[in-house]
Amino acid sequence: MTTLSIGEPRSVASNNDIHGEDARGGQNTTNLDCCVCLEKFQQNEVTRVGCDHTYCHGCIRELFVRSLHDQTLFPPRCCGQEIQLALVEGLLNEEEIDNFNNRHIEHTTAHPVYCGNRACGAFVRPELITGDRARCTGCLNLTCTMCMSPYHFDADCPEDPAIQNTLALANQEGWQRCPSCRTVVQLDRGCNHMTCHCGTQFCYRCGARWRTCACAQWEQGHPFAEPEWVMPPPLARDHGPRVRELEDTMQELREFRNIALHMRGCLALGHFRRRHDGGERGFQCELCHSNHRWYILECLQCGRQICERCRRNRN
């Protein structure tokens, strides 16, 4: 199994509060299994998370480091429960901890703003925003929070024609927008309860936040229709590395979505088994395309194969 290593970790804190017990009820200090790599470790070599699963230090460190670059893994979680940074802080170096804290602020900000400098594109923390001005601490440039471009000073803020065309079409077709991040969503029929990529829940019929209106929950037609998330067409100009990273992430999310929706049904029914017969080539996860030497999870119904990390940790 490949383990990420970015920088040298600080001294590893001993998990003296982690205790394993064997079938006879006695203390077991050498037979704790990592739920990801399945190898056995002593109790001071594993971390037990909120859902009671145990991770070896290598696997849980890899999860946190990967989450800094993979939006679908942030925040790190297992069985739907968020894993607190305090549990693994001793396994990360100071730079990784700072990056994690910044990403957490970005993740929990309702309307994130990014530097309009094409060569920068960094996230601008909320305390650095005043009115329609956002100051980047990296390149020290100002960004217009209305259009996310470099600040206009004495000029009027130009409206992006691509976005305006999309919004005009949305208005014509009766599509709704997320009240938080303003993403456009199209729903042909089904449930009016929408959950946006940013986590905001709202009513598709009127656009209000969920449970703040009197609209019916269901529309006529198939009750399980899936919404389509409408994105503005790509612009010709270069948006900078951070925006390009977000565009790449959105494309990955769209690819994940088709497989993930199917996999959720398989997981709910418990239709997975472990395969250990990968030989020298090992296995490749069909969701994240990572390679795994020891085993893969295979759906008994459709035959698709996914890794343990996608099963436990991916949003």
- pLDDT tens-place string over residues 222-261: 344 445 555 444 444 444 555 566 666 666 666 656 555 5
Tell me the average pLDDT of the chain. 75
- pLDDT tens-place string over residues 31-86: 899 998 888 999 999 999 999 999 999 999 999 999 998 877 889 999 889 999 99
pLDDT above 60: residue 4 = no
| Residue 297, burial from CB neighbour count under 10 angstroms (0-12, 13-18, 19+) | buried
Residue type, 293: R
Statement: the pTM of the whole predicted model exceeds 0.85: no
Residues 54, 57, 62, 63, CA torsion sign: positive
> 169: pLDDT confidence band, cut at 50, 70 and 90?
confident
Most confident of 97-111, 143-157, 166-180, 183-197: 97-111
Domains defined for the chain, CATH in brackets: 32-108 (3.30.40.10), 109-156 (no CATH), 161-230 (no CATH), 241-312 (no CATH)
